[in-house]
Amino acid sequence: MPQKGIISYTLSANRQNPLAGTAHAAIFNTWRRFSAQVLYVAPPLIFFYYAMSWATDRNHYLNSKAGRQEFAGE
């Protein structure tokens, strides 16, 4: 026999909002993850960017007329 006095409410799966709160959670979760990892990623990225920039400028100088004249004897 069914029990009396127990009431349960359910919502059908096709009536639920599957994207409820995703925009809010995405913004704060993305910020939390970004702030936790930025100190691991940014310093090497900055260092290697400046190293590559220096190497490119140095290569352009060494292959220019002035650079070839300066290091012609070596």
> Could you tell me which residue, 64 or 12, shows the higher pLDDT?
64
The amino acid at residue 33 is R
Tokens of 31: 């910020």
Number of structural domains the chain divides into: 1
On whether residue 12 sits in a domain, the answer given is no
pLDDT in tens, 35-47: 999 999 999 999 9
Q: Hey, what are 70's tokens?
A: 């300066």
73 in a domain, yes or no? Answer: yes
Confidence tier at 33 by pLDDT (50, 70, 90): very high
* 14/58 Cα distance (integer angstroms): 63
Whole domain around residue 57: which residue ranges? Answer: 39-74
